[in-house]
Amino acid sequence: MISITCSESCAINLAESQNEITGRLVRTLNLKLVEAAGGGIERERASDPDARDLVMRGWALYYRPYSRTNQQQALEAFERALEVDSQSVDARTGLATVLVSRISHDWSSSPAQDSARAEALVLEALERDTNSSAAHYAMAGVRRMQSRLAESRIENETAIALDPNHARAIFQLGQTLMYLGQPQAAIPYIEKALRLSPHDPNIAAFYRVLGRCRLYLGQDEAIDLLRKAQAANPRLYLSHLTLAGALGLQGELDEARTAMAEALRLKPEINSLAAWRHHRPWETNPQHWAFVEKTLAAGLRRAGMPDE
């Protein structure tokens, strides 16, 4: 039997803390460098960008707060990069990542075709570079959109093994665990992503998923986290919808109806629980939907959302 002394345990905890601090600094610096480089390319090389310029521009746009416009411009930058360099792994990976993001946010007009294209792009990227953390992260997103959640989990774990500071992959692993019906297991990953990227431009997603996990588990912090998600990016219908469900469950029906009305304004198609399931099939894994039924769906029904 192996025993660990207090001093050994403290040393392990200190090493983990130091690694997280280093990871946070690396993550913050990388985001700032991508943003600065993307802006510089816009100003200095707008007339004649090469593929690397366009890829950097695409990532700078992708890392901005999620919006339909930012995602469309990122898509166009990666498309142009692939036109300039048809062999580019980074262009393929970036384009696939944005296609998945557009499906996830219900901004894709052809989700089945976009999912198939994203999968083909990532497979090509991985053929050229099997050790690309970004490509495995993109494949994890593809598999999640396809409701292949166990495979998504493996791809996220591979992305993290290749880049332990990949905050988005760490977050996405937590999100995938939530969809697998394991909110308790998901929480440490989402909290780690928050520590690594506390000023992430898309921190709304971190707060929203963490809030959902805590709501599923009946924890008091849930509504505060969902309010933070709503405030961090009010353009996202899902933040309003999840907050509406949580408030409805708590009996705060006036505020729940206000949040639900805003969700419907942003995404009129999600006007019933059946529509939610139809637009987001990766959420309908029975183990996960059982948590939804007890919490968000129950709250939305109280606020007036119909089943059909």
Domain boundaries defined on the chain: 21-192, 202-308
The pTM for the full model equals 0.85
CATH architecture classification, 21-192: Alpha Horseshoe (1.25)
pLDDT tens digit string along 36-78?
454 444 444 544 578 999 999 999 999 999 999 999 999 999 9
Provide the pLDDT for residue 19: 54
Provide the pLDDT for residue 14: 53
Q: Name the pLDDT band for 6 (thresholds 50, 70, 90).
A: low
The percent of residues in the chain predicted with pLDDT above 90, rounded, is 83
Average pLDDT over residues 263-288: 97
pLDDT at 28 > cutoff 90? no
pLDDT at 2 > cutoff 90? no
Q: Name the pLDDT band for 7 (thresholds 50, 70, 90).
A: low
Q: Across all residues in the chain, what is the average pLDDT? A: 89
Average pLDDT over residues 149-153: 98
Provide the pLDDT for residue 5: 55
pLDDT at 9 > cutoff 90? no
pLDDT at 216 > cutoff 90? yes
pLDDT at 117 > cutoff 70? yes
Provide the pLDDT for residue 170: 98
pLDDT at 29 > cutoff 70? no
Comparing C-alpha atoms, which of 97, 63, 64, 66 is closest to residue 79? 97
Q: Return the number of other C-beta atoms located less than 10 Å from residue 227's C-beta.
A: 18
Same fold, 21-192 and 202-308: yes
Provide the pLDDT for residue 203: 97
pLDDT tens digit string along 220-271?
999 999 999 999 999 999 999 999 999 999 999 999 999 999 999 999 999 9
Average pLDDT over residues 198-202: 94
Q: Name the pLDDT band for 11 (thresholds 50, 70, 90).
A: very low
**Burial classification of residue 91, based on how many CB atoms lie within 10 Å of its CB (0-12 exposed, 13-18 middle, 19 or more buried):** buried
Provide the pLDDT for residue 274: 98
- Taking domain 202-308, whether its CATH number is 1.25.40.10 is answered by yes
Comparing C-alpha atoms, which of 229, 188, 172 is closest to residue 205? 229
